[in-house]
Structure 1
Amino acid sequence: MALLTFLGATQQVTGSCYLIETHDKQKILLECGMQQGNDNNNSNGDNGQATNSSFRFNPEHIDAVVISHAHIDHSGMLPRLVAEGYRGPIYVTDATSELLEIMLLDAAHIQEKDTEWENRWRARKGKRPIAPLYVTADAERALKQRKAIDYHTSVEILKGVELKYYDAGHIIGSAIVELTFHEPNNSTRRLVFSGDLGNTCTPLMRTPEAVKQADVLLLESTYGDRNHRCTEDTLDEFAAILQKAHKEGGNVMIPAFSVGRTQDILFHLGRFYREGRLPQHVVYLDSPMAIRANAVYFRHHDKFDKENLAMLKEHNIESLEDWLPIIKQTPRPEDSMDINHTKSGAIIVAGSGMCNGGRIVHHFKHNLWRPECHLVFTGFQARGTTGRAIVDGVDSVKVLRDDIAVRAQVHTLGGFSAHAGQSQLLDWIRHFDNSPELYLIHGETDKMHVLQAKIKQELGWDAGIPELGDRIAI
């Protein structure tokens, strides 16, 4: 029988990674995510090395890698894996393959630049330099190992192991993973990994597909303790925040993940613009990665939700500028720095989504301390991130080694989440014809316990909560 070891996203929401060993000792790595966040309120100055520096296995011994989607907490360690000797295929969907080219090269660039900046500071302090987790050449090598397959296509990735993807509805190209293991006694065992399941209210994306058979099920639980507000209520609150910021004369900062959340936010802002509910005079998209990702989204528009796709076609929308004419995209650093001269009337959408880096932190230096400005969180903030510290109410945060007061008005809009809420998770697992052996992953412990109890109450199923390093039979 196959064995699975939990190596990441156990009782936390980042660093997704699971090692599978088949009956004949073949090894599959399911996900290769980067650990995001740390035990402090902000960067601990090690550029992420402390939590991402080593694997709990030998990359040279891995035979195949399977990735559910392109977000860095699911794919961000692929260049490191290749740098340490992995030479096999990396299985992805076609849209994920395109997004990985954007995200991994960007992540490598950030690693290089952040390390360069960090080492200049260390040199002044007489400290030893550090090395980046990986460099651009490592990302380029990883990208050469991509192997894209379509949804619903069964592919034998190793002898006796078949892979099939289903649409997870989370971001473009996101997938539910089904692995079928053919055992020597002619029996089969099926592992289903939910990946990140999409919020059914998310624009553009389709509802996560139902899967009906599994022997072992790994279920994400990011929002296992709550349901999201309905979309229209959230949009009304969002519109009210924008009106308030306009009246008070400040800017609006929206830290957003460059792939997924940014596209959702821009879709809603475009809708506000067309309905006359957008008082700001300019929307800055200050994320080179998001700008490139938008093009991928439009290339794969056939995978959009049918209703929203029909609306875009009705208005002959072929680009983001068609949908939101007041958008100003700022790919170059000097374009980004020019935003600092705008003191009011702007919406600034920038990464990173959890505020531990990216261009949003530079906008914090110019806006976070101003009480007339507004900071709108539209996504989950993991423990140990700057975003989580702000949501939890700290008075100041360290940004690029400077303490910045948090005086801007802070808002959290959970209805924008691209993750399924509790009832949506329950509805999805109800589709299984049997009662699979169920394990909760990709969530914080308290939220897992709430979902665990709810599953027991409503379905009568037991759900395990594994710890790092736990091993189970498939």
Structure 2
Amino acid sequence: MVTGANYLLETKKNKILVDCGMKQGDDDAKNSNFERFPYDISEISAIFVTHAHVDHIGMIPKLVKSGFRGRIISTPPTKDFAGPLLTDSEKLLRDEANKKGRTPPYSTGDIAQALGFWETVHYHETIQVSDFTAEFFDAGHILGSSFISIKAEDKTIVFSGDLGNENTPFIKPLEKIEYADYVLIESTYGGKLHENVRTRKDIIEDLIEDTTKKGGTLLIPAFALERTQEMLFELNELVENRRVRNVPIFVDSPLAITLTEIYRSYSGDSRYFSGAAISTGASGDGIFDFSGLKFTYSEKESKKIRETPNPKIIIAGSGMSHGGRIIFHEREYLSDPKNTILFVGFQSKGSVGRLIRDGAKTVNIFGDDVPVRSRVVAIDGYSAHADQKKLLEWITPMRFSLKKTFVVQGEEESASALAEKIRDLLAVSAEIPIDGETAVL
């Protein structure tokens, strides 16, 4: 299972959850978001949240609607992101429910109630919930992301959440620790190696040059959280250093615009932003601002983008083309070979983005078969997920204490590849649990 992280940790005295995410992808995954939780919610005393992506927080309001009244704990940026991200998810889930004649999993009122239960903790501060002691560490994935070490009954269990790629442009890098008895490690890219992230800016520079010379549009489906801000940060450097032509660059995502403002509010905080990024901001050069950048808030503004002559660049959500304004642009631009669509993030099975990336000749958008004639490019180096090498580097310092690892959040091939490497290189037991499986530690 790739999406919908939700882990129940139980002692003789208490029960807690780590993450409570929404499942994304094909119809089976989406339908599961409407099903009952497979545990007694009244027995759950707290939820520890690794980060704000909806596949890790998207079902928290449903949990509250179902009766949860415990503590919700994360870093401050994660809580700040949760409000707008959950509100956006509520709209998508409501639309899905209306199509199928079902009751939406939760309402905006449930989101507000969840945020009322939500408390924050900074990295390296310990927090106690009954007989559980937890500490958050920087996962280097997105702003405020964490992996969490939880101690209970003389055992230490580490939940990786999502681990970050190397050399992130502005957030601080992934931390490492040396002790755990058990680890749940993500495996999104457990069987792959990314391009050298130091060259990814060169790749985007070449794509911009090639597409603008053709008089085309560069279309970038991007997650509203982190990926859009990474793209803006690096486009800023390319534009201001005159490495690319000054063409209109549209951020066509109200959610991404809102989240970018939250990023700006933390851009001087050394607990979360790198020294280089803070220095850039302190020099008076806004890290998400540059000539040619245009934010489009309304649908009317979005529709007018097509009236802007080529060449141009459009960054829009959703990152997997599940919905959002990107699908309107894909319908408009995919059929023209002068254009380029650039994927800079993970595309789950069943998503329109995955179909395009994997070479589909046509995709169905709003009931129409749209031919894919544009150039299709994917850059794994922009992934916010660690690749196999980085995952192994993270877990290696814990190898002498580890009794077992559980490889999670990856498609079968990726999870199997990472589990095999852990067994062979580290001589540590590695299992791939199935959804709903119980393990006694």
> Is the TM value for this pair above 0.5?
yes
Q: In the superposition, relative to structure 1, how do residues 198 and 52 fare at CA in structure 2: closer, same or farther (>3 Å)? A: farther
Answer yes or no: is the 8 Å Cα contact 2:352–2:363 preserved in 1. yes
Structural mapping, 1:62-77, within 5 Å: 62-77=44-59
Give the drift of 1:257: 0.8
Give the drift of 1:113: 4.7
2:124 matched residue in structure 1? 152
Give the drift of 1:319: 5.7
Answering whether residue 119 of structure 2 is matched by residue 137 of structure 1, we say no
Answering whether residue 77 of structure 2 is matched by residue 95 of structure 1, we say yes
1:320 to 288, 296, 299: 288
> Which deviations, in whole Å up to 9, do the C-alpha atoms of 1:191-232 show, x marking residues without a partner?
101111111122112221111211111111111112211123
Give the drift of 1:102: 1.5
1:251 matched residue in structure 2? 217
1:56 to 29, 33, 38: 38
Structural mapping, 1:136-285, within 5 Å: 136-157=108-129, 159-181=130-152, 183=153, 188-285=154-251
1:82 matched residue in structure 2? 64
Gaps of 5+ in 2: none
> Which deviations, in whole Å up to 9, do the C-alpha atoms of 1:71-122 show, x marking residues without a partner?
0011111111111111111111111010101211121133335555x3xxxx
Give the drift of 1:403: 2.0
SS at match of 2:195: coil
Q: In the superposition, relative to structure 1, how do residues 267 and 306 fare at CA in structure 2: closer, same or farther (>3 Å)? A: same
TM-score, length of structure 2 as denominator length: 0.95
Q: Which is further off, 208-217 or 103-112? A: 103-112
> Which deviations, in whole Å up to 9, do the C-alpha atoms of 1:370-414 show, x marking residues without a partner?
221110000111111111111111111111222211111110011
Answer yes or no: is the 8 Å Cα contact 1:47–1:132 preserved in 2. no
Q: In the superposition, relative to structure 1, how do residues 89 and 112 fare at CA in structure 2: closer, same or farther (>3 Å)? A: same
Runs of 4+ more than 4 Å apart: 113-116
Answer yes or no: is the 8 Å Cα contact 1:201–1:230 preserved in 2. no
2:421 matched residue in structure 1? 454
Q: In the superposition, relative to structure 1, how do residues 460 and 173 fare at CA in structure 2: closer, same or farther (>3 Å)? A: same
Instruction: Give me the whole-angstrom Cα distance separating, in 2, the residues matched to 1:147 and 1:86.
Output: 15
Higher relative contact order (CA 8 A, sep 6+): 1
SS at match of 2:279: helix
Answering whether residue 98 of structure 2 is matched by residue 104 of structure 1, we say no
Identity %, equivalent residues: 35
Instruction: Give me the whole-angstrom Cα distance separating, in 2, the residues matched to 1:269 and 1:349.
Output: 11
Instruction: Give me the whole-angstrom Cα distance separating, in 1, the residues matched to 2:29 and 2:254.
Output: 21
> Which deviations, in whole Å up to 9, do the C-alpha atoms of 1:420-462 show, x marking residues without a partner?
1111111111222523421111111111121122222322222
Gaps of 5+ in 1: 1-11, 39-43, 119-127
Answer yes or no: is the 8 Å Cα contact 1:34–1:77 preserved in 2. yes
Q: How many residues are treated as equivalent by the alignment? A: 437
Answer yes or no: is the 8 Å Cα contact 2:280–2:286 preserved in 1. no
Answer yes or no: is the 8 Å Cα contact 2:236–2:287 preserved in 1. no
1:388 matched residue in structure 2? 354
Answer yes or no: is the 8 Å Cα contact 1:280–1:345 preserved in 2. no
2:318 matched residue in structure 1? 352
Answering whether residue 279 of structure 2 is matched by residue 310 of structure 1, we say yes
1:14 to 3, 10, 16: 3
Give the drift of 1:291: 0.8
Instruction: Give me the whole-angstrom Cα distance separating, in 1, the residues matched to 2:35 and 2:107.
Output: 14
> Which deviations, in whole Å up to 9, do the C-alpha atoms of 1:261-308 show, x marking residues without a partner?
111111111111012122251111111111111111121122112233
> Which deviations, in whole Å up to 9, do the C-alpha atoms of 1:3-33 show, x marking residues without a partner?
xxxxxxxxx3211111112112x22111101
Q: Give, as a single letter, the amino acid of the residue that structure 1 aligns with 2:30.
A: G
Answer yes or no: is the 8 Å Cα contact 2:239–2:246 preserved in 1. no
1:365 to 331, 336, 358: 331
SS at match of 1:430: helix
Q: Which is further off, 192-201 or 397-406? A: 397-406
Answer yes or no: is the 8 Å Cα contact 2:5–2:20 preserved in 1. yes
Instruction: Give me the whole-angstrom Cα distance separating, in 1, the residues matched to 2:303 and 2:281.
Output: 32
Answer yes or no: is the 8 Å Cα contact 2:9–2:16 preserved in 1. yes
> Which deviations, in whole Å up to 9, do the C-alpha atoms of 1:143-169 show, x marking residues without a partner?
111111111111112x21111101111
Instruction: Give me the whole-angstrom Cα distance separating, in 2, the residues matched to 1:325 and 1:295.
Output: 18
TM-score, length of structure 1 as denominator length: 0.88
1:287 matched residue in structure 2? 253
1:416 matched residue in structure 2? 382
Instruction: Give me the whole-angstrom Cα distance separating, in 2, the residues matched to 1:428 and 1:334.
Output: 46
1:23 matched residue in structure 2? 12
2:408 matched residue in structure 1? 441
1:470 to 416, 424, 437: 437
Q: Which is further off, 378-387 or 103-112? A: 103-112
Q: Which is further off, 135-144 or 265-274? A: 135-144
Instruction: Give me the whole-angstrom Cα distance separating, in 1, the residues matched to 2:32 and 2:11.
Output: 31
Q: Give, as a single letter, the amino acid of the residue that structure 2 aligns with 1:295.
A: E
Answer yes or no: is the 8 Å Cα contact 1:111–1:135 preserved in 2. no
